[in-house]
Amino acid sequence: MPQKPIVLDAPKPQKRALSVEALQSEILENLTYSIGKDAIVARPHDWLRATILTVRDRVIDQWMESSRETWRTSHKRVYYLSLEFLIGRLMRDAMSNIGVMEPMREALKNFNVDLGDLINLEPDAALGNGGLGRLAACFLESMSSIKIPAYGYGIRYVHGLFRQEMSEGWQVELPEDWLAHGNPWEFERRESSYEVGFGGKVVPIPEPDGSTRLEWQPGEHVLAVAFDTPIVGWRGARVNTLRLWSAQPIDPILLDKFNSGDHIGALQESARAESITRVLYPADSTPAGQELRLRQEFFFSSASLQDIVRRHMQQYGDLGSLSDKVAIQLNDTHPAISIAELMRILIDIHGLKWGPAWKLTKATFGYTNHTLLPEALETWPVALLERMLPRQMQIIYAINAEVLGEARKMGGFTDAQIANLSLIDEGGSRRVRMGQLAFVGSHSINGVSALHSDLVKKTLFSDLNRLYPGRINNKTNGVTPRRWLMQCNPGLTSLVAERIGPDFQDNMDLLVGLDKHADDPLFQERFAAVKRANKEDLAKIIKERLGVVVSPDALFDVQVKRIHEYKRQLLNIIEAVAQYSMIRAHPEKDWVPRVKIFAGKAAPGYWNAKLIIKLINDVAKVINNDPAVRGLLKVVFLPNYNVSLAERIMPAADLSEQISTAGMEASGTGNMKFMANGAVTIGTLDGANVEMLEQVGPDNMVIFGLTTEQVAEVRAANVPPRSVIEASPMLREALEAISTGVFSPDDPNRYRDLIGGLYDHDWFMVARDFDAYAAAQRKLDDIWITPRKWYSMAIRNTAHMGFFSSDRTIRQYAEEIWGVPVPGR
């Protein structure tokens, strides 16, 4: 059926008023006619939904206009493909960005409803795990804020990653239920549904001219149904779209099976289809788990590409201009199969020849690498791809032949280097390297910090960089200052605006004006008062959730992030054990009171990470209940770390722990959020810490530990670290206490192997960096007891966060990778 012409001059609805009276009237109208409740009996969740609908209506007005404007001007669109979008709660973000926060507060007050209570009632969207997903969310918001036409594409997970609870100190994974009562922000788009195939066979089809065309005939189909969420930019500048795919069966029930009595079997196809979008990162330790992960990645990649090509053809009618009007960014290797799938769509469906199709594909795609960890660069068994995606595997073989042919033609590559260039890892069981596929199929490959991008060139993709010089570039990550300063820390935002004026809210570079006020005693006093109020708020959360009383006068020492050995939560808790021993051994000293705050999730199959969580909780139980400590040291682990909890923790932090093994953290974004909120950083020269040091200066951060080069040298020497441990009495005693069961009397051997690994190999340099880390902590103690020095450092951290705004990052992507004009530049 031919497409109906798009009417760009359709009548526009009247713009909605932002007055308290108008908001109050619409809230009541939504409560009555959309929720079906009388205000007299309405419950908090009813008021929340009515409020969201009232805010959403105002966002939709600009959403429609943004879409019309892009069609009118034919501007190039950006499509950001990510398996995660950790968007958090949306209501406060939308209210703040369209400037309706205070009128809405007043409108609700007239109903005796507190806006703050409603904000806390909104569930977090369970669409991500950590930094990768939160970065994608920041980028979408920044693209809206600086008026870049964009879509985010991902998966509408029913249960997301998992809800983390603690049982006797152990992590327990429970399903998230964020969609249990629907999502008022999303709109189902039934017209944007696509069939996605799996399995089957590839059949040669004779053409009239005597040539042969290949056609994939899948053995299985599922339906990808689009759900759209509006993402509003600062001051309502633009509203872009987050399009998430839900997997549904072609036939929801097999009636013949049902009527024959096989009631469970009748729903088997439905369950198989829906499993694709049920859980983020299903465990891949089994063949079935690996297959499900690959199904997820191909499902959302194929649906997104079908949607992109359909939209382009609808507007332009010709694929020759695809790379001029479309920029697709792959957020890590999860959507890398898109390279082969776009080639299939261009060649098999639209009839392009290989050469033009490959040229278009490379010009359209960009790839962001987020890791140097080999296990995080996905590979898939060749046999699995040949069975599930036979046509895409044929295309991968053809791409590989072209790449290796170019390498042979260039010359100068050894057989080992040729093997390293190959998209197929021939060592052991044959596997497809998705990082290599993403690299060769993209015109731009970027790292996410200066150090990381340099290492990508020199180590991870050194041979590919030689074959295709100039493709690798750097785009240091950033965070949206709207959510991570202005919304989560309104007290600090107001204080800054009072001191340097409000213009910084539109240009974060102006925050540097705080620099000249950093040593002002009056400003420091007011800055400290804001920090204390935030710490009091976090102390209440700790008491409510854990039953642990902490003093806001103590130094809040915070490490919140995904639990992983390279992030070195283990180093932090070992130092806490050492400090505990020192406090008990020397009660006569004036110890700085500290609260060690941990949070983060461990992957369900990552035993050591889960064991580290248990160790933190075991240590906390002993320290927090030992009267000899006199409250000078507390340790807490806050369960179920998510965006909303981060928004309460970041403003309250005095000290930000960014202590990953040098050379292993691609960038980090938590470090930037803490910096914005006036925390001092203790860290290694890793990831974006390097650029933070350049921005804020060495007097305002505390750096310790081995450098990337030194880590490489130590690993190459392969000398067991036992002598290092024996030479450090404080470390040796702490490790002995942990390994002999002082903190696990119910199971004295619980941590024997975990600690034994430090003696045997210490791959993550915990033992080798311990003394430097402990010394850095004592240096921070000395600074803390001089408040003028501490707050001077803290204020300068906030003053220099402008570079780490995701607005700056997105402008660089737009100008240097996507070729998209940035309004106002």
Show which residues are catalytic: 370, 561-562, 567, 669, 673
Q: In what order do the strands lie in the sheet with 187-198?
A: 187-198, 220-232, 239-249, 150-155, 77-81, 326-331, 365-368, 444-447, 472-474
The rounded distance, in Å, linking the Cα atoms of 240 and 231 is 5
DSSP assignment of 183-248: -TT-EEEEEEEEEEEES-EEEEEE-TTS-EEEEEE-SEEEEEEEEEEEEEPGGG--EEEEEEEEEE
Residues 6+ apart with CB under 8 A from 490: none
Print burial letters for 110-137: b (CB count within 10 Å at least 16), e (below 16): ebebebeebbeebbbbbbbbbbbbbbbb
**CA–CA gap between residue 68 and residue 91 (Å, rounded):** 24
Residue 399 CA to chain centroid, in angstroms?
30
| Closest-CA residue to 508 (of 478, 550, 547, 464) | 478
Please, what is the Cα angle at 293 between 289 and 296, to 5 degrees?
A: 140
> What are 367's two structure tokens?
């790839």
Burial of 777 (0-12, 13-18, 19+ CB in 10 A): buried
CA 789 to chain centre: 34
Return the bridge partners of 425, or none. Answer: 431
**Cα-to-chain-centroid distance, residue 426:** 32
User: How far, in Å, CA of 788 to CA of 798, rounded?
Assistant: 16
- Distance, in Å, from the CA atom of 792 to the CA atom of 511, rounded to the nearest integer, reads 15
- Rounded Cα–Cα distance for residues 676 and 801 (Å): 6
Closest by Cα among 233, 235, 239 to 142: 233
Contact 282, 316 (CB under 8 A): no
DSSP, residue by residue, 713-779: HHHHHT--THHHHHT-HHHHHHHHHHHTTTT-TTSTTTTHHHHHHHHHT-TT-HHHHHHHHHHHHHH
Distance CA 501, CA 522 (A): 17
Give the Cα separation of 776 and 575 in Å (integer): 11
Q: How many CB atoms lie within 10 A of CB 424?
A: 17
**Number of C-beta neighbours around residue 34 at 10 A:** 14
Closest CA to 156 of 121, 120, 128: 128
CA 25 to mean position of chain CA atoms:
38
Residue 653 DSSP SS3: coil
Instruction: Give the pair of three-digit tokens for residue 58.
Output: 């105002």
523 and 517 Cβ atoms separated by less than 8 Å: yes
DSSP line for 621-651? HHHHT-GGGTTSEEEEEESS--HHHHHHHGG
The token duo for 189 is 């788009």
DSSP 460: I
